[in-house]
Amino acid sequence: MPMVVDGSEPEFALDVLEQFLQDSVETVESARRAAALADREGALHGMHTLKSSSAQVGPLALSAWAG
């Protein structure tokens, strides 16, 4: 699917948001497992991934919180 940011492909935005939500659940779970194992680098990597993907998709408050 082509990337369209002018609003002419509203389904694209929905696809991006659905993928973000799916990936975010996996990212948070991975970071949670790493934290439970005292894997500082793994937990930080997960939070950085969440911050970056949130900033790209739009939930900036989540990005700031994860940062």
Q: Is the residue at 58 inside a domain?
A: yes
Kindly indicate the confidence band of residue 36, based on its pLDDT and cuts at 50, 70 and 90.
Answer: very high
Say if 34 falls within a structural domain: no
In a domain, 46, yes or no: yes
Better-scored residue on pLDDT, 53 or 66: 53
- For the cut 90, the answer to whether the pLDDT of residue 33 exceeds it is yes
More confident residue, 24 or 65: 24
Backbone angles phi, psi at 46, to 5 degrees: -60, -45
Confidence of residue 58 (pLDDT cuts 50, 70, 90): confident
- Averaged pLDDT, 22-26: 92
The answer to whether residue 31 sits within a structural domain is no
For 21-31, letters b (16+ CB in 10 Å) and e give eeebeebeebb
- What's the CA gap between 64 and 45, in Å, rounded? 15
Q: For residue 3, is it within any domain?
A: no
Residues 6+ apart with CB under 8 A from 40: 34
Q: Does 29 map to a domain?
A: no
Model pLDDT, residue 1: 45
